[in-house]
């Protein structure tokens, strides 16, 4: 038997978040006109228990075992993801997507939640295998491919929110593996071009910045040319891509800029969410007493917009508590990554943290219209079995890594 | 990867700082929303959950001069639905169709109402029967978005009898909502659509109240009594009119089934309208809560035009009733006195230029003075008087007497009379082209030609004859009398004209049959040429009584009435009813 590992700060923070989350899911079900949401907190509680059991199981295994299952787990998750394109179904704000695996109309899980974990593992494996951190864009093709395969499938579902999480994981782990800042910037540049291309002036300015960056960083000539071409290309195809977006997707992006543009549909969610949060004030309206929620003005109050319920019922105090718990969790995981035994473990830990961080940033930002609405759940809070399970499996992995870690910061030589 | 401890430590630190910074920014955003902007969001969330349910105000009750009710409000029930979307409204109405006995017309009307005001409760049945209401109350739990409201419903106890002045009410239209006078109005409200209801809408309307119901996002009421600060509807004050309902009823009864036309009775000194009736009429009660299409069609296709107010909208040649205007102009100019004879005696007509102008009396009246010419309505006399005055002075005199203007009665949609402008040449050039002849003077002098007057404008003119030469503006609702001196005659001259008019209704006059025993009635008949149906002239009578101290002025117009004395008989009955005297039983046929 291995020694029992229990990273108390980690587990307790995650447990507090989960219990707070279940309480909010319960509250979300307490509406004046009863809905099916009324009882979902029970299954959420069940999934939490299952997830904790899974986490305990994993924490009793070993990092080597985890590393060993990485490749098959990765391909299994890809296969499941691919299957969603055939027998997928949607739910909630993502009703039009196919992110759920469904058999005979019964949804049995979101493979993309599993894929987030397996992609982190797979990326960690590949990046850890290198002696040197990637120094050029050409060095990145293999890690890029690992992320690109699931990303393409997810974008085909289409599930923009989860797609963003994968990009966050990719950049976070590249950073952790030691890729230089300028290279990351160059890598991100086509995305920036994509966003800025809607304003010719901004895009032109960005292009000059990029040129300076390329000259400063001095990548290979081919790379430099590829980058510039990629930036021009994304700038040119962005309007075409825009046209290709479904009207509801276009609306969501428009509404992000101006929620009042479409107050009865896409903008409605954001406006109602802000009203809920703003009317919560410092102390909130009290547990289960949010009027916005009770009267169903809040959309998806038990999944994507659960944080608005926190804001309305628990006020700024509650928001601060939840965000602080998340910060504590993330700092703890970063710490675990920092003192992990080996680069694989370290990368896995940081990758999992990066994944959650993007979730929290986008989800919480969305409730205040700081981020576009992308149908992305809040870890440990949003109702959903797959995500709860995946999150607690990740906690299990982190427990294991923490347990095998040197128990102190890496720079203090052991 | 670069797994050197120093690198890792640096990245750990950098990441931690970045994470903390990100959370501080996020917390800042929440602080701004939840603490700094808290109040504004609280307001918005209150607005969200409180749905205003309008409480209609009862319209002001309209009384006659004796305090009898002309228009009142009966309790009625309206059924409304709060619908989040048109589809939902349609679906709910489908379910309710049989219970509410909704017709397809009701459904499309409700859909139209919803489109105009999606946030207000949509009225499905404006006037539901008590049976329907009790069935609905039983099933209320099944239809949480149903609102059953007690609404005041306009009711006119005398219906068609008062339609010609009281008008009717109906739901405000989209066009109305865009007008400045309806600035504060909301879709679905009931407004006055005609008559007094329209004229005094701002007074009669009262103030709509509001009740707040707590609703969920789909507009379903969630609690019976939530926080609902009520704002009670404020009923309008009662409105007293000058109408004498007994007289109105009596005047209306005189028209029977066959006659068409209108009558108006005024107090000569104040202009107060005692009765105003246009026949045939319609039932304004059936207009409340939407005009039934078949009734609307029936009214619109009726050749007798019941919706057309013949007292204030019909314009007809005033015919011989206008001879008093000619006489007045001639006397003012000093061209004639009441006993002045014209050079040419009446032999049944007058040769003027190449045309022969007939008198209505083919046998001729012989030589008459002005008083006799009025009494016998001699056209030949007035042809000569007209020529003596001249077209320019005749037109100018008519304009000064107010024949180009509306009477100013306090009713909407009064038609403007037709009369030449003082710029006579331009007016007739435009009317006939350049080659019109002076013979127009002759037509004008006897009340024909380019002269069409409303019944009310003639009645107004006669109030000046009935008094001291000042015309009183007719009004239905109490206000200080408005009198315009239009005649510049001495009391003696006016008395002379009155005596001549009294002759009209006495033996030998054109309306001798309309005489009233014990009361001296003065007036003037008119038989207007009908261009549409030459054989059926229109009949006029405008008069007052008692001649020496007039208490009432009556104008009666009968479309296709053939001869003025038919109108005169109606008028004399109205007058005698008002003055409480009997009509002289024997009927003496006479010309005129």
The helix/strand/coil state of B188 is coil
CA B358/CA B439 separation, integer angstroms:
13
Residue A298 confidence (pLDDT): 72
Residue B215 confidence (pLDDT): 66
Phi, psi of B190 (to 5 degrees): -95, 130
CA B426/CA A168 separation, integer angstroms:
87
Tokens of B173: 């239209």
Phi, psi of A381 (to 5 degrees): -110, -60
Regarding predicted confidence, which is higher, A69 or B589? A69
Burial class (CB in 10 A: 0-12, 13-18, 19+), A16: middle
Calculate mean pLDDT across residues B259-269.
93
Tokens of A245: 């977006």
Residue window 353-412, chain A: list those with CB within 8 Å of chain B: 357, 361, 364-365, 368, 370, 409-411
CB distance B278 to B195 below 8 Å: no
Residues of chain B with C-beta less than 8 angstroms from the C-beta of A277: 30, 33-34, 41
pLDDT digits (tens, 9 = 90+) for A216-244: 877 677 777 878 888 888 877 777 777 77
CB distance A161 to A371 below 8 Å: no
From the CA atom positions of chain B, what is the Rg in Å? 34
Residues of chain A with C-beta less than 8 angstroms from the C-beta of B40: 278
Q: What is the mean pLDDT of chain B?
A: 86
Residues of chain B that touch chain A, judged by Cβ-Cβ distance less than 8 Å: 1-3, 5-9, 11-12, 15-16, 19-20, 22-23, 26-27, 29-31, 33-35, 37-38, 40-42, 44-45, 48-49, 214-218, 220, 222-223
The minimum CA-CA distance between B47 and chain A, rounded to whole Å, is 10
CA B34/CA B26 separation, integer angstroms:
12
CB contact under 8 A, A316 and B31: yes
CA A44/CA A67 separation, integer angstroms:
29
Residue among A286, A326, A294, A327 nearest A310 (CA):
A286
The closest CB to that of B2, out of A178, A324, A413, belongs to: A178
CA A200/CA B329 separation, integer angstroms:
83
Calculate mean pLDDT across residues B487-497.
92
When mean pLDDT is compared over A99-108, A284-293, B55-64, the highest value belongs to: B55-64
Residue A37 confidence (pLDDT): 76
pLDDT at position B584 over 50: no
Least confident of A325-329, A388-392, B181-185, B346-350: B181-185
Residue among B518, B520, B493 nearest B506 (CA):
B520
Calculate mean pLDDT across residues A131-154.
86
DSSP structural state of residue A298? S
Regarding predicted confidence, which is higher, B590 or A169? A169
CA B291/CA B126 separation, integer angstroms:
12
CB contact under 8 A, B34 and A278: yes
DSSP A209-241: HHHHHHHHH---HHHHHHHHHHHHHHHHHHHHH
Give strand pairing partners of B122: B81
Burial class (CB in 10 A: 0-12, 13-18, 19+), B356: exposed
pLDDT at position B308 over 50: yes
Say if strands B190-192 and A100-103 run parallel, antiparallel, or are unpaired. unpaired
CA B103/CA B291 separation, integer angstroms:
14
The minimum CA-CA distance between A170 and chain B, rounded to whole Å, is 14
3-state secondary structure B131-158: HHHHHHHHCHHHCCCEEEEEEEEEECCC
Regarding predicted confidence, which is higher, A261 or B111? B111
Nearest CA in chain A to B27: A320
Residue among B552, B350, B368, B577 nearest B466 (CA):
B552
Nearest CA in chain B to A181: B11
Calculate mean pLDDT across residues B287-314.
88
Residue A411 confidence (pLDDT): 35
ipTM (interface predicted TM): 0.89
Burial annotation A152-169 (CB, 10 A radius, 16+ → b, else e): ebbebbbbbbbbbbbebb
pLDDT at position A147 over 80: yes
Calculate mean pLDDT across residues B414-436.
90
Residue A173 confidence (pLDDT): 94
Burial class (CB in 10 A: 0-12, 13-18, 19+), A375: buried
pLDDT digits (tens, 9 = 90+) for B501-521: 998 888 777 877 777 777 888
Least confident of A159-163, A407-411, B117-121, B224-228: A407-411
The closest CB to that of A275, out of B20, B44, B216, belongs to: B44
Least confident of B31-40, B65-74, B580-589: B580-589
Nearest CA in chain A to B37: A278
CB distance B165 to B273 below 8 Å: yes
Calculate mean pLDDT across residues B326-348.
93
Nearest CA in chain B to A406: B5
The minimum CA-CA distance between B124 and chain A, rounded to whole Å, is 24
CB distance B454 to B442 below 8 Å: no
CB distance A186 to A218 below 8 Å: no
The minimum CA-CA distance between A157 and chain B, rounded to whole Å, is 30
Residue window 277-316, chain A: list those with CB within 8 Å of chain B: 277-282, 291-292, 294-297, 311, 315-316
CB contact under 8 A, B49 and A133: no
CA A118/CA A79 separation, integer angstroms:
12
CB distance B125 to B131 below 8 Å: no
H/E segment holding residue B301: helix B293-301
DSSP structural state of residue B32? I
Burial class (CB in 10 A: 0-12, 13-18, 19+), B232: exposed
Residue A265 confidence (pLDDT): 55
Cα distances (Å, whole numbers) of residue A174 to A66, A127, A137, A338 = 21, 8, 11, 15
Residue A410 confidence (pLDDT): 37
The closest CB to that of A343, out of B1, B41, B220, belongs to: B1
pLDDT at position B228 over 80: no
* pLDDT interval class at B373 (50, 70, 90): very high
pLDDT digits (tens, 9 = 90+) for A53-95: 999 999 888 889 999 999 999 999 999 998 888 877 766 555 5
Burial class (CB in 10 A: 0-12, 13-18, 19+), A131: exposed
Residues of chain A with C-beta less than 8 angstroms from the C-beta of B3: 342-343, 346
Q: What is the mean pLDDT of chain A?
A: 83
Calculate mean pLDDT across residues A99-124.
82
Calculate mean pLDDT across residues A183-196.
80
Q: How far apart are the first and last CA of chain B?
A: 124
Residue B334 confidence (pLDDT): 93
The helix/strand/coil state of A57 is helix
pLDDT at position A288 over 70: yes
* pLDDT interval class at B107 (50, 70, 90): confident
Residue B221 confidence (pLDDT): 62
CB distance A155 to A139 below 8 Å: no
Residue window 71-130, chain A: list those with CB within 8 Å of chain B: 127-128, 130
Calculate mean pLDDT across residues B236-265.
92
pLDDT at position A263 over 70: no
Calculate mean pLDDT across residues B425-447.
88
The closest CB to that of B19, out of A316, A334, A410, belongs to: A334
In percent, the amount of chain B with pLDDT more than 70 equals 92
pLDDT at position B50 over 80: no
pLDDT digits (tens, 9 = 90+) for B534-576: 777 889 999 998 988 899 999 999 988 878 888 988 998 999 8
Residue A261 confidence (pLDDT): 61
The closest CB to that of B7, out of A178, A297, A327, belongs to: A178
Nearest CA in chain A to B144: A33
Question: CA angle at residue B56 from B50 to B61, to 5 degrees?
Answer: 160
pLDDT at position B591 over 50: no
Calculate mean pLDDT across residues B461-485.
92
Please report how many Cα atoms fall inside a 13 Å half-sphere around the Cα of residue A297, on the Cβ side.
Answer: 31
Calculate mean pLDDT across residues A10-18.
95
Sequence-distant (≥ 6) Cβ neighbours of residue B449 within 8 angstroms: B317, B440, B443
Tokens of B548: 């020496």
Residue B398 confidence (pLDDT): 95
CA B406/CA B480 separation, integer angstroms:
19
Residue A267 confidence (pLDDT): 66
């Amino acid at each position: 038997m291995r020694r029992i590992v229990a990273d108390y700060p980690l587990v307790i923070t995650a447990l507090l978040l989960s219990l707070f989350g279940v309480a909010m899911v319960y509250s979300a079900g307490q509406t004046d006109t009863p809905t099916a949401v009324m009882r979902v907190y029970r299954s959420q509680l069940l999934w939490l228990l299952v997830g904790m059991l899974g986490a305990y199981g994993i924490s009793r295994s070993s990092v080597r075992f985890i590393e060993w299952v990485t490749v098959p787990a990765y391909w299994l998750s890809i296969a499941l993801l691919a299957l969603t394109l055939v027998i997928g179904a949607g739910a909630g704000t993502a009703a039009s997507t196919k992110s759920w695996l469904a058999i005979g109309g019964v949804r049995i899980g979101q493979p993309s939640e599993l894929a987030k974990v397996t992609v982190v593992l797979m990326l960690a494996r590949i990046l850890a295998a290198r002696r040197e951190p990637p120094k050029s864009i050409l060095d990145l093709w293999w890690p890029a491919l690992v992320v690109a395969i699931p990303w393409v499938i997810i974008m085909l579902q289409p599930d923009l929110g989860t797609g963003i999480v994968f990009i966050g994981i990719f950049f976070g782990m590249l950073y952790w593996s030691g890729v230089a800042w300028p290279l990351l910037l160059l890598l991100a540049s086509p995305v920036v071009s994509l966003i800025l291309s809607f304003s010719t002036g901004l895009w032109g300015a960005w292009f000059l910045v990029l040129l300076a960056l390329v000259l400063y960083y001095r990548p290979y000539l081919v790379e430099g040319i590829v980058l510039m071409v990629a930036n021009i290309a994304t700038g040119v195809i962005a309007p075409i891509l825009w046209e290709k977006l479904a009207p509801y997707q276009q609306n969501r992006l428009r509404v992000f800029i101006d929620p009042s543009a479409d107050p009865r549909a896409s903008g409605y969610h954001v406006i109602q969410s802000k009203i809920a949060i703003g009317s919560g004030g410092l102390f909130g309206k009290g547990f289960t007493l949010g009027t916005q929620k009770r009267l169903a003005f809040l959309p998806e109050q038990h999944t994507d917009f659960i944080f608005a319920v926190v804001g309305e019922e628990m006020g700024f105090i509650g928001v601060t508590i939840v965000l602080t718990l998340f910060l504590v969790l993330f700092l703890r995981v970063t710490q675990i990554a920092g003192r992990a035994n080996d680069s694989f473990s370290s990368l896995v830990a940081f990758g999992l943290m990066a994944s959650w961080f993007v979730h929290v940033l986008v989800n919480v930002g969305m409730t205040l219209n700081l981020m576009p609405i992308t149908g992305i759940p809040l870890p440990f809070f949003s109702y959903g079995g797959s995500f709860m399970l995946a999150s607690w499996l990740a906690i299990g992995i982190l427990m294991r890594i923490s347990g095998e870690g040197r128990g102190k910061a890496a720079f203090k030589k052991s | 990867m670069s797994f050197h401890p120093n690198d890792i430590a640096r990245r750990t630190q950098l990441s931690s700082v970045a994470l903390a910074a990100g959370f501080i920014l996020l917390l800042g955003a929440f602080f701004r929303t939840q603490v700094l902007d808290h109040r504004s969001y609280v307001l918005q969330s209150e607005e969200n959950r409180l749905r205003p349910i309008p409480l209609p105000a009862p319209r002001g009750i309209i009384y006659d001069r004796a305090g009898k009710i002309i228009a009142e409000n009966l309790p009625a029930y309206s059924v409304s639905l709060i619908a989040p979307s048109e589809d939902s409204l349609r679906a709910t109405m489908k379910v309710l169709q049989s219970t509410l006995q909704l017709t397809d017309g009701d459904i499309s009307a409700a859909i139209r109402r919803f489109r105009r005001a999606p946030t207000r409760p949509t009225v499905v049945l404006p006037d539901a029967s008590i049976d329907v209401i009790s069935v609905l109350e039983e099933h209320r739990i099944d239809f949480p978005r149903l609102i059953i409201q007690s609404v005041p419903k306009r009711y006119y106890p005398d219906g068609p009898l008062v339609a010609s002045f009281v008008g009717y009410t109906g739901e405000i239209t989209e066009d109305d909502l865009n007008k400045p006078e309806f600035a504060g109005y909301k879709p679905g409200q009931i407004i006055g659509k005609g008559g007094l209801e329209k004229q005094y809408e701002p007074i009669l309307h009262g103030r709509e109240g509001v009740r707040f119901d707590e609703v969920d996002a789909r507009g379903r009421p969630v609690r019976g009594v939530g926080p609902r600060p009520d704002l009670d509807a404020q009923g309008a004050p009662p409105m007293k009119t000058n109408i004498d309902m007994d007289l109105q009823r009596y005047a209306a009864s005189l028209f029977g089934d066959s006659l068409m036309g209108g009558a108006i009775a005024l107090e000569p000194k104040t202009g107060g309208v005692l009765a105003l009736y246009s026949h045939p009429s319609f039932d304004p009660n059936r207009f409340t809560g939407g005009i039934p299409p078949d009734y609307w069609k029936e009214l619109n296709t009726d050749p007798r035009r019941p919706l057309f107010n013949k007292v204030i909208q019909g314009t007809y040649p005033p015919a011989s009733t206008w001879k008093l205007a000619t006489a007045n102009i001639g006397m003012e100019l000093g061209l004639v006195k009441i006993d002045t004879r014209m050079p040419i005696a009446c032999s049944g007509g007058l040769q003027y230029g190449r045309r022969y102008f007939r008198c209505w009396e083919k046998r001729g009246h012989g030589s008459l003075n002005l008083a006799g010419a009025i009494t016998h309505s001699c056209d030949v006399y007035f042809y000569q008087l007209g020529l003596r005055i001249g077209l320019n002075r005749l037109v100018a005199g008519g304009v000064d007497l107010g024949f180009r203007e509306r009477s100013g009665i306090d009713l909407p949609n009064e038609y403007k009379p037709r009369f030449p402008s003082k710029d006579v040449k331009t007016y007739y050039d435009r009317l006939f082209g350049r080659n019109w002849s002076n013979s127009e003077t002759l037509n004008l002098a006897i009340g024909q030609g380019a002269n069409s007057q409303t019944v009310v404008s003639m009645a107004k003119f006669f109030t000046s004859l009935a008094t001291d030469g000042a015309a009183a503006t007719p009004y239905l609702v109490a206000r200080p009398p408005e009198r315009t001196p239009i005649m510049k005659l001495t009391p003696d001259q006016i008395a002379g004209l009155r005596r001549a008019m009294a002759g009209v209704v006495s033996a030998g006059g054109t309306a001798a049959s309309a005489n009233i025993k014990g009361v001296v009635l003065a007036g003037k008949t008119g038989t207007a040429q009908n261009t549409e149906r030459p054989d059926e002239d229109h009949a006029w009578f405008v008069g007052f009584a008692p001649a020496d101290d007039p208490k009432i002025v009556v104008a009666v117009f009968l479309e296709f009435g053939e001869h003025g004395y038919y109108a005169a008989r109606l008028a004399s009955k109205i007058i005698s009813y008002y003055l409480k005297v009997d009509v002289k039983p024997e009927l003496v046929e006479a010309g005129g």
